[in-house]
Amino acid sequence: MAVESATGTSDAPRTTDRTRASDKTMTMREAVAAHVRDGDTVSLEGFTHLIPTAAGHEIIRQGRRDLTVIRMTADIVVDQMLAAGCVSRLVSSFVGNSSAGSLGELRRRVEHADPEPLAFEEYSHYGMICRYMAGAQRLPFYPLRSYGGSDLPDVNPALRKVTSPYPGPDGEPEEIYVVPPVNPDVTIVHAQRADRSGNTQVWGLTGVQAEAVYAARKAVVVVEEVVEDEVVRSDPNRTLIPAHAVDAVVVCPRGAHPSFAQGYYDRDNAFYRAWSGISKDKERLTAWLDEWVHGTGDHAEYVAKLGEEFWDGLAVGEAMSLPVNYGRRL
């Protein structure tokens, strides 16, 4: 598979085999086997909420190597994939353990090249959003003002200036920063629900899931549940990602843990607090991966291993949204 070039684009042709009215459901094992290859550029998106952790674990189980991982907020799942030897390059706008501490494996790679160096390409949050938008729209670049006065262009040569073809406020041509597009080989996102053809609905905190899906050549949507078409049609404005942009639908309840899925389960703050200590110690991190990822056949085993009492502690109460009358012809 093609990988992202130094400017963030790939020369592979865009795939066009997505169908609108078909059953795209498959297991996580099948989806990763079909759509993630060694050397691929893989986007894993979800901003604090709906992080595709279970997908990252399956990539680890299948032993993928030399991946370029694109994730705006590189956090625990990236640390785990690094420790498992899956990732050789990271493209991100934030690295850290979500206000709860540090990422031990990522720090070892960046600060000490231990056990090997990590190629790291850094952008701002908005810079990454612009990259996804450029990729989704098949544009050669995307302009933005927020790098003016920043030192990021000094460390990232992909941040460049172009001269606007239009006059600025003073009537003279203006120079403005631009970022390159990104077109992942595959984007994987987590969501609350989808129908079997891939119409995917999200509520609560959203990120750049839709842009990341549209920018990619293939897209895998992991959901808490699959619902009938009528459920999606009854509330169409919640459909963030339409079926024509989706190649696989994976049903994986609790697949965003330790992050949360609005309306399904809460964030596991205790795990976030514990991770800094786990990842700081290489032997302890390896043991965690051996027990919780390599030692489980799939995410269902991971969920069962945690136990129902644990999940009861992350249960959420109801906060129902009122029905909306869309109206219909009589």
- For 45-88, write each residue's pLDDT tens digit: 999 999 999 999 999 999 999 999 999 999 999 999 999 999 99
- The pLDDT tens digits for 19-49 are 445 999 999 999 999 999 999 999 999 999 9
Cβ-Cβ contacts under 8 Å for 97 (sequence gap 6 or more):
75, 76, 79, 103, 272, 275, 276, 279
Contact call for residues 53 and 224 (beta carbons, < 8 A): no
- The pLDDT tens digits for 225-243 are 999 999 999 999 999 999 9
- Predicted TM-score (pTM) of this structure: 0.92
> How far is the C-alpha of 317 from the C-alpha of 223, rounded, in Å?
20
- The pLDDT tens digits for 240-275 are 999 999 999 999 999 999 999 999 999 999 999 999
Task: Tell me which amino acid residue 141 is.
Answer: F
DSSP lists the bridge partners of residue 73 as 94
Q: Measured on CA atoms in the order 249, 255, 259, 264, is the torsion positive or negative?
A: positive
